[in-house]
Amino acid sequence: MRKQHRTSLVVAVCAAATASGGLLTPAHATTTATQRDGPDIAELSGEEIAEKAAAELNSADSVRLRMKAPDLRLDLTLDEKANCSGKVTTPGSGSVRLIKRGDTVWLKPDAAFWKAQLGPEQGAAAAEKFQGRYIKGSAKDDDLGGKGLATACDLDAFRAASGVRDTPGPRWKRGRESSVDGHRSVPVTRAQDKARVTMHVSTEGKPYPLRLERKAGSKHDRIDLGRFNRPVSRSTPPKDRTVTVDQLRRHLGDSGQGEPPSESV
């Protein structure tokens, strides 16, 4: 697509990759918590619970990440090989379905996204022209997200951005047991960078981090985690439902007459 009409996906996925802002960092690493088979998590300190949750996230091969922030909605399954599948939504500006396998990416914007990027008239025409089609291209293409996309789809990069690796901070304090989406959990909370951050950790089975929250003034960001170690789907769009990014650029650069071409077999 033309430079002046780059999608905002790169902005969205970069925000998603760094949104947790160090929520998982235990203040003081202790080997006893992660090595301990007992007692039950309900008897552990907030610091020990946070370390166990961080260890589970560090060892996961894949995870589903759902983020809710005022300017962004994200539902993405990603793994350590930077494969991912899901949906990115910017409220008021539409959404994009996203599939990434290796160095190839497929993006399917909705009508609202086209209009937000191209303006009402040209956006409506593009939405009709490319309805149901995925844009296929290189994950390194800046117009399709480039490095920002690769980072957002990489579980290891998300863990680094989340701060699970040896970054000092205030100690975690545990709260009263509650639940997240029907799963029993215990919250641990600390202050960080003038914000209050909370991690909800499962008390059933492995101590997975189920929800991360950051509150600073009126701003409240939330990330839900789930489906740990379930592989990213290997399914990719069929060729008759794809348009290459070069074909898209050509269509946006002219009057756009006729039907959009599909990717050649």
Q: Does position 117 have pLDDT exceeding 80, yes or no? A: yes
Q: What pLDDT is recorded for position 19? A: 42
Write down the pLDDT at residue 169: 66
Which amino acid belongs to residue 236?
T
Q: How confident is the model at residue 254 (pLDDT cuts 50, 70, 90)?
A: low
Q: Is 79 exposed, middle or buried (0-12, 13-18, 19+ CB in 10 A)?
A: buried
- In the numeric block, the tokens 């789809």 are attached to 153
Q: Are 187 and 168 contacting, i.e. CB atoms less than 8 angstroms apart?
A: no
Region 190-212 average pLDDT: 90
pLDDT of residue 166: 46
Residue 156 pLDDT class (50, 70, 90 cuts): confident
Lowest mean pLDDT among 104-113, 154-163, 180-189, 251-260: 251-260
Unique residue bearing structure tokens 């009263």: 176
Calpha distance 97→88 (Å, rounded): 6
The answer to whether the CB of 46 falls within 8 A of the CB of 33 is no
Amino acid at 111: A
Most confident by average pLDDT, 8-17, 100-109, 187-196: 100-109
Whether residue 170 has a cis bond before it, omega within 30° of 0: no
Q: Could you tell me if 108 and 133 are in contact, meaning their C-beta atoms sit under 8 angstroms apart?
A: yes
Q: Cα–Cα distance between 236 and 185 in angstroms, integer?
A: 35
Output the CA–CA distances (angstroms, integers) from residue 122 to 10, 107, 165, in the order listed: 21, 19, 46
Q: Report the alpha-carbon distance of residue 75 to residue 63 in Å, rounded.
A: 11
Q: Which residue has the higher pLDDT, 145 or 55?
A: 55
- pLDDT given for residue 8 in this prediction: 34
* Residue 183 φ/ψ region, left for φ over 0, alpha for ψ in the -120 to 50 degree band, beta for the rest: beta
Classify burial at 183, counting beta carbons within 10 Å of its beta carbon; exposed 0-12, middle 13-18, buried 19 or more: middle
Of 11, 41, 15, which Cα lies nearest the Cα of 206?
Answer: 41
Number of Cβ within a 10 Å radius of residue 218: 6
